[in-house]
Amino acid sequence: MAKASVSDDCIDMVTPWNEYLSAKYKRSFAYHTVRNRLPVTVTQVIDHLSRSKEALVQTYGEGSREEIKQIIGYLSKLKNEMQTNKPLISLEANEVDASDWNNFLNTTEERLGRPLLWFADVWLHIECYLYRRIRESFALTKHLNQYDPFRHQKEEAFTGSLQAISVVGSYLLKLIESDAKIDTEQCVLQFLKLSLWGNRCDLSISGGKDISQVENPLDMISTLDELILVNDLQKVWSALNSTSSGPKIIDIIFDNSGYELFSDLCLAHLLVKLGLANKIRFHGKRVPWFISDVMEHDFHWLIQEMANQTRAPCLSKLSTMWKDFLSSGTWTYLTESFWTLPYSYDAMKQIDPELYNSFEGSKLLIFKGDLNYRKLVGDVFWPHTEKFSVALRGFEPAPLVTLRTIKADVVVGLQPGQAEKVAQKDTDWLVTGKYAVVSCLVK
């Protein structure tokens, strides 16, 4: 008798309103992701290790040869666990967040009265768990302990976008070095849009395929306003332009490396130069995450790689300025474990009160991208007309905004009938990154 398919355990329906996104609903993007996209991600890491084995052994020593086999075996087993809907297992390596992860797994199992399963539980938790297990496969080794299997893809995404990066960098320099009076509000809104649309460059949504930015971004953003389904840019400007006393701290919680990271740093530079901020705190991931997410190495590599671009002197000049911001403390890069835990952000106050409290002094929190959005609204399939403030479920340490191109089937804050109208034109509108939201909450 043939073994039943995993999909036989899933429900042939769309996700019901107000339920968590989950692969148990066969007509959901979560199901498509867990069934089709995530196994490809694991396979690509295995293929990369197989193809790069000799180069890795040359770099990390002969001892890494056996470790590569060990990692490939671990990842092959992981892929099988996912595809056959096995229970999620605890982490083994003694890393800084391992006890938090294992506590989450154990507590959730106790609450459910059963093991957590790939095709039965909250998509957010499942997807984060997959990337944490990929990290675990390297953490269990000695020579490849700090290896980032996605680093080559992130770096190629940057170099493939150099033409667009040079255009934006040249424009930024022209603005900040001009003696002519500039329209501060229009400049800030323009760079907020550059940062917003930079979020289209996401390797996890493209399955690791090339996502280089090749069009002229300055020409592009002026034509895309109608695709911003929730547009709170004026609220964002009001928050940035507020004149409250105290330090003007802005926090940017990163999403993707490459062109998007560059656009984020250009925005940060402009905010400092215009006096809207005197300190920017950047927040990135501790471990390789969702293929293209920013880690500390990616951040510093990009700034240094800009300095090496002899054919684009504007980038070298900006690199020097950004290094000065870092050395003076105007810019600070921070790595907190919370960003690679499975929790949505309404749990931050309890799970990481120190991080939550640090945000309370911020003028504005800028959350980039799809995963941050999903964590802000809890990965719940809210009615599309639900208020953003309600979906945040009490997470409001400071004024905040999300700059996000839509790549998962959750979005709130739309007007009645708006979702239906967009769906008539584009049935895949929730998952392609074509549309965007700028959702702002001001306390």
CATH of 19-140 among 3.40.1190.10, 1.20.930.60, 1.20.140.10, 3.40.50.1970: 1.20.930.60
pLDDT score, position 435: 96
Q: What is the DSSP string of 13-60?
A: SPPPTTSBPBTTBTTSHHHHIIIIIHHHHHHHHHHHHHHTHHHHHHHH
Question: Is pLDDT of 186 > 80?
Answer: yes
Q: What is the pLDDT of residues 298-327, one digit of tens each?
A: 999 999 999 999 999 999 999 999 999 999
Q: What is the pLDDT of residues 43-95, one digit of tens each?
A: 999 999 999 999 999 999 999 999 999 999 999 999 999 999 999 999 999 99
Bridge partners of residue 366, in order along the sequence: 252, 401
Question: Of the ranges 1-10, 205-214, 389-398, 415-424, which one carries the lowest mean pLDDT score?
Answer: 205-214
Contact 355, 251 (CB under 8 A): no
Q: Residue 397 has what DSSP assignment?
A: S
Q: Where are the beta strands (DSSP E) in 299-395?
A: 331-335, 364-368
Look at the alpha carbons of 346, 348, 349, 355 in this order and tell me if their dihedral is positive or negative: negative
Question: Is pLDDT of 154 > 80?
Answer: yes
CA 142 – CA 139 distance, rounded (Å)? 8
Question: Is pLDDT of 19 > 80?
Answer: yes
- pTM score, whole prediction: 0.96
Q: What is the pLDDT of residues 98-114, one digit of tens each?
A: 999 999 999 999 999 99
CA 170 – CA 164 distance, rounded (Å)? 10
Backbone angles phi, psi at 232, to 5 degrees: -100, 30
Bridge partners of residue 367, in order along the sequence: 253, 402
Contact 265, 322 (CB under 8 A): yes
What is the C-alpha R_g of the chain? 22
Question: Is pLDDT of 203 > 60?
Answer: no
In terms of residues, how long is the chain? 443
pLDDT score, position 207: 54
User: What are the residue ranges of CATH 1.20.930.60 in the chain?
Assistant: 19-140
pLDDT score, position 48: 98
Q: What is the pLDDT of residues 341-353, one digit of tens each?
A: 999 999 999 999 9
Contact 287, 295 (CB under 8 A): yes
pLDDT score, position 208: 53
Contact 39, 83 (CB under 8 A): yes
Contact 440, 235 (CB under 8 A): yes
Residue among 400, 413, 411, 402 at smallest CA distance from 441:
400
CA 30 – CA 14 distance, rounded (Å)? 10
pLDDT score, position 302: 98
Give the pair of three-digit tokens for residue 125. Answer: 């938790």
Contact 199, 404 (CB under 8 A): yes
Contact 43, 123 (CB under 8 A): no
> How confident is the model over 261-269, as a mean pLDDT?
98
pLDDT score, position 147: 98
- 3-state SS class at 407: coil
The residue ranking higher by pLDDT, 63 or 200, is 63
Inter-CA distances, 317 with 46, 425, 431, Å: 39, 44, 37
- Mean pLDDT rounded to a whole number for the chain: 94
Tokens 């099988």 belong to: 80
CA 291 – CA 8 distance, rounded (Å)? 30
Q: What is the pLDDT of residues 110-153, one digit of tens each?
A: 999 999 999 999 999 999 999 999 999 999 999 999 999 999 99
Q: Residue 313 has what DSSP assignment?
A: H
Burial of 32 (0-12, 13-18, 19+ CB in 10 A): middle
Give the pair of three-digit tokens for residue 1. Answer: 């008798």
CA 106 – CA 102 distance, rounded (Å)? 6
The residue ranking higher by pLDDT, 208 or 12, is 12
Give the pair of three-digit tokens for residue 14. Answer: 């769309």
Q: What is the pLDDT of residues 357-395, one digit of tens each?
A: 999 999 999 999 999 999 999 999 999 999 999 999 999
CA 73 – CA 89 distance, rounded (Å)? 16
Max CA separation in the chain (angstroms): 79
pLDDT score, position 206: 47
8, HSE (Cβ side, Cα atoms, 13 Å) = 5
